[in-house]
Amino acid sequence: MTRALALAAVLVGACGANTTTLTPAQEAYLRAHPELGPRDRNALLYRTISLGDTLERVKAAWDGALFRRREPATPDVIGGRVAVSKEPIDTYEVYIALGDREVAIRSGDQEERVPNGRLILVFKDERLASYVRME
């Protein structure tokens, strides 16, 4: 009985091991931003981002995910002229691998958890403006 309890304790501890420590990149982000508090640390720990977060913070929170910047295939054309935006817009394709820790995106009071797959993130002025879950 004691042996079974000890084994169960080890297994439970091992299951949560990947969610109780920050990655080195997340720790470096927190060191670079000493104004951040426990809530921000927990958001990084549980890989949670919010609309309005900076590109730097998203990359830190989702450390380990594959980010690919997507260049537009053609320029936007409106009325025969190339459209110009006052705000820089960047699009990233992000891959969350099978077996990797899930990520989460907050939008207002809603939160969407993504265990794996592909997402498109759109940044305006290096702040997350919108996202689309592709898979």
Q: How far apart are CA 53 and CA 3, in angstroms?
A: 47
**How do beta strands 103-107 and 117-124 pair?**
unpaired
Task: Please report the pLDDT score of residue 9 as a whole number.
Answer: 45
Q: Strands 127-133 and 117-124, how do they pair?
A: antiparallel
Parallel, antiparallel, or unpaired for β 48-50 and 103-107? parallel
3-state helix, strand, coil in the chain (%, to 5): 30, 35, 35
Residue 13 has pLDDT above 80, yes or no: no
The pLDDT tens digits for 43-61 are: 999 999 999 999 999 999 9
pLDDT tens for each residue of 67-115: 999 987 666 666 667 666 666 789 999 999 988 899 999 999 999 999 9
Q: Which residues contact 51 (CB under 8 A, 6 or more apart)?
A: 105, 106, 107, 108, 128, 129, 130, 131
Whats the size of the chain, residue-wise?
A: 135
- Residue 135: the pLDDT is 73
- Band of pLDDT at residue 16, cut at 50, 70 and 90: very low
Confidence at residue 89, expressed as pLDDT on a 0 to 100 scale: 85
H and E: helices and strands count for the chain: 4, 9
